[in-house]
Amino acid sequence: MTTPASASAVRVLLTGFEPFGGDGHNPSIVAARDAVALLAERVVAAEAVELPCAFADAGPALTAALERTRPEAVLAVGLAGGTAAVRVERVAVNIQDARIPDNAGAQPVDRPVRADGPAALFATLPAKRAVAAIRAVGVPAELSLSAGAFVCNHVMYVLLDAPGTAGSAGFVHVPWDEEHRPTPDTPALPAADLARAVAEAALAALAGGVDLHVPGGTLH
């Protein structure tokens, strides 16, 4: 399922995921779709594509969307339940180590995303600049050095490994939105904040350029 851009060529491709793990909602695809409208207000043509939460199917779906739209920038979005801030990912690792089965029932353990691929790939969007842009609109954001080892990391790796990916590309994890969080105690942000964060990160990806030279690492 896609949220199409206007008649203009797609400049930014956004992706999110279908619900997984028994949940009936996934804020990542909602944030991506809502960000399309926010980008349109900035005269930036974007499209949101929902990816299956399945190792075998997510990569081909992403590749098909890339080939069809040929965007200038790509931002994939996933859910990091239990987090309280938007996380801009810097690194995708060449490993699949699923704590739970994906939506197709697959649960790979210690298997590479690509057998002959590099151990890790770095996001090409200016990640620190994206964090700063998200914070500037009042949404909590942080830099992250791990996209996990589930389908989110898989998609990020496939995206960065895709031949001919134009412009800059990256991945952000969003928390639950307040309306759909599984329990009242689950950390969450307003859905509007998630959309704003995705739009700002997408604009940072589109702008590209040199990243901010500021500390962004953690001690553990």
pLDDT of residue 165: 63
CA-to-CA distance for 122 and 128, rounded, in angstroms?
Answer: 13
pLDDT of residue 4: 57
Say which of 47, 50, 72, 89 is annotated catalytic.
89
Q: Quick one: average pLDDT of 72-76?
A: 97
Say which of 173, 179, 180, 220 is annotated catalytic.
173
Which sign does the torsion angle of CA 197, 201, 207, 212 carry? positive
Verify whether residue 152 is a known catalytic residue.
Answer: yes
Verify whether residue 89 is a known catalytic residue.
Answer: yes
pLDDT of residue 218: 84
Verify whether residue 173 is a known catalytic residue.
Answer: yes
Say which of 152, 180, 213, 220 is annotated catalytic.
152
Which among 16, 36, 39, 37 is positioned nearest to 27, based on CA atoms? Answer: 16
Burial label for 135, CB within 10 Å (0-12, 13-18, 19+), is middle
Model confidence over 1-16: pLDDT tens digits?
666 554 469 999 999 9
pLDDT of residue 220: 78
pTM of the model: 0.94
Residue 17 tokens read as 């995921």
Point out the least confidently predicted range of 71-80, 95-104, 208-217.
208-217
Chain mean pLDDT for the chain: 94
pLDDT of residue 47: 98
pLDDT of residue 219: 78
**pLDDT class of 164 with cuts at 50, 70, 90:** low
**pLDDT class of 51 with cuts at 50, 70, 90:** very high
